[in-house]
Amino acid sequence: MTDPIPPFSAAEYDRRLAKARAAMAAQDLDAVIATDPSNQAWLTGYDGWSFYVHQAVVLPAGGRPLWWGRNQDANGAKRTVDLSRTDVAGYADHYVQSTTRHPMQDLAARLSDMGLGAGRIGVEMDNYYYSAKAHAALSEALPQATLLDATALVNWCRAVKSDEELGFMRRAARITEKIQRHAIERAAPGLRKNELAAGIMAEGILGVGEDWGDYPAIVPLLPSGSDAAAPHLTWDGREMRDGEATFFELAGVYRRYHVPCSRTVFLGDPPDHIRRAEAALIAGLEAGLDAARAGNQARDIANALGAEMEKAGIERGARCGYAIGLSYPPDWGERTISLREEDETVLEPDMTFHFMPGLWMDDWGLEITEPIRITAEGPAECFCDLPRELIAKP
């Protein structure tokens, strides 16, 4: 099999650049510097594990996007972007982790060459990998430019998915189902958590048929018992035990598109308080899915869930979901819309979310979640076909 490079059609990238440029025009920006690797990939197709050094895609209001990064990674850019549409520029290796030079000095010179030296330039102040020092160095090297906060400007353009993107997410969802079923089947007293994590990771990367699996932006999370009170503990070498709940928060990934989903396995007979929480959670999910309609607001989903939680006397205190799609470590969320009381974003068809009402109590945890797509007419479509319940394995 051969995959197209970059993965989407030229028309799809045209659509994306036009959307980003419209958002830039609304802020009267001459260019945006995207330092978030997911924005770089979305704009140009660039794909590589090189985001640990400074790199960016510069999107000027007119003209071609520029991929900019370390010299050795320009080789990767040339292999992952369409060179008839994207320019590629590398900086010398002595800029890397130097105490006397900063890569942003190199970028500043290129921006000046592009006629942007005195421009209004959007920078992603609070996206990943745009460090405080990067901003200071760029500001100093471009004294005539005006640097404006464009945090999440490109991320917001990604909220509504195209048909091509939804196709990728459906492939990812098949991988998600596969690894959830794998985890649920294997879970048993005496199984070491790292053995379970190894299997999940391998099955995810193997993928489904021709659809090879990509690496997830967050590793499999699978804490047990009291540790399940902490949502982001990673595995260790301890064995699974009778009488404990373990949640599996896992994402299948197809070419960087993530479909995260959680299920919980209880080894043995679940105690009443967990069964009660399960019932409330399922009722809350159903209410939330019904509220997840185009025209409603993001908070309507949170409020529908919240009403069921309140009836059951459960206090959550955290948002219950976030936008999903194309992602790189350290996060598989898009960092735009949050499903919570204060988020008034109006839902549109083909927005995609992880509806994620995790329960992390003092000494136990329970996760039953649904990755969803907002539809034009009805309640949300769930990407995954998995039993919406706590799985008890006696």
Q: Show contacts with a second copy in window 287-326 (CB under 8 A).
A: 317-319, 322
Task: Please tell me the distance from the alpha carbon of residue 113 to that of residue 305, in angstroms, as a whole number.
Answer: 53
Contact (Cβ atoms closer than 8 angstroms) between residue 221 and residue 197: no
Select from 76, 86, 68 the least CA-distant residue to 49: 76
Judged by CB under 8 A, does residue 360 bind a second copy?
yes
Q: Which is nearer to a second copy, 236 or 269 (CB)?
A: 236
Task: Please tell me the distance from the alpha carbon of residue 291 to that of residue 303, in angstroms, as a whole number.
Answer: 9
State the minimum distance, in angstroms, from the CB of residue 93 to a second copy.
4
Contact (Cβ atoms closer than 8 angstroms) between residue 305 and residue 320: yes
Q: Which is nearer to a second copy, 136 or 346 (CB)?
A: 136
Q: Which is nearer to a second copy, 69 or 270 (CB)?
A: 69
What is the footprint of a second copy within residues 28-87 (CB under 8 A)?
Answer: 47-52, 71-73, 75-76, 78-80
**163-171, 235-243, 291-299, 300-308 -> range binding a second copy (CB under 8 A):** 235-243
- Could you say which of 23, 114, 148, 233 contacts a second copy (CB under 8 A)? 233
DSSP three-state, residue 71: helix
What is the footprint of a second copy within residues 212-231 (CB under 8 A)?
Answer: 212-215, 218-219, 221, 226-227, 229-231
**89-97, 110-118, 258-266, 379-387 -> range binding a second copy (CB under 8 A):** 89-97
Judged by CB under 8 A, does residue 26 bind a second copy?
no
Q: Which is nearer to a second copy, 321 or 382 (CB)?
A: 321
Judged by CB under 8 A, does residue 275 bind a second copy?
no
Q: Which is nearer to a second copy, 77 or 391 (CB)?
A: 77
Beta pairing partners, 245: 266
Judged by CB under 8 A, does residue 17 bind a second copy?
no
Judged by CB under 8 A, does residue 195 bind a second copy?
yes
Q: Which is nearer to a second copy, 60 or 69 (CB)?
A: 69
Select from 362, 343, 355 the least CA-distant residue to 380: 355
- Could you say which of 113, 164, 238, 385 contacts a second copy (CB under 8 A)? 238
Judged by CB under 8 A, does residue 203 bind a second copy?
yes
Q: Which is nearer to a second copy, 51 or 68 (CB)?
A: 51
Judged by CB under 8 A, does residue 130 bind a second copy?
yes
Q: Which is nearer to a second copy, 331 or 381 (CB)?
A: 331
Element (H, E) at 111: helix 103-113
- Could you say which of 194, 296, 297, 375 contacts a second copy (CB under 8 A)? 194
Bridge pairing between strands 257-267 and 391-393: parallel
Judged by CB under 8 A, does residue 273 bind a second copy?
no
Per-residue CA distances from 168 to 1, 214, 383 (Å) = 16, 12, 11
Judged by CB under 8 A, does residue 184 bind a second copy?
no
- Could you say which of 14, 140, 164, 236 contacts a second copy (CB under 8 A)? 236
Judged by CB under 8 A, does residue 241 bind a second copy?
no
Contact (Cβ atoms closer than 8 angstroms) between residue 185 and residue 160: no
Element (H, E) at 285: helix 272-291
Enumerate residues 6+ apart whose C-beta is below 8 A from 37: 46, 51, 55, 128, 129, 328
Judged by CB under 8 A, does residue 392 bind a second copy?
no
Enumerate residues 6+ apart whose C-beta is below 8 A from 8: 45, 164, 165
State the minimum distance, in angstroms, from the CB of residue 371 to a second copy.
18
Select from 359, 318, 313, 363 the least CA-distant residue to 338: 318
Angle at 263 between CA 194 and CA 283, to 5 degrees: 160
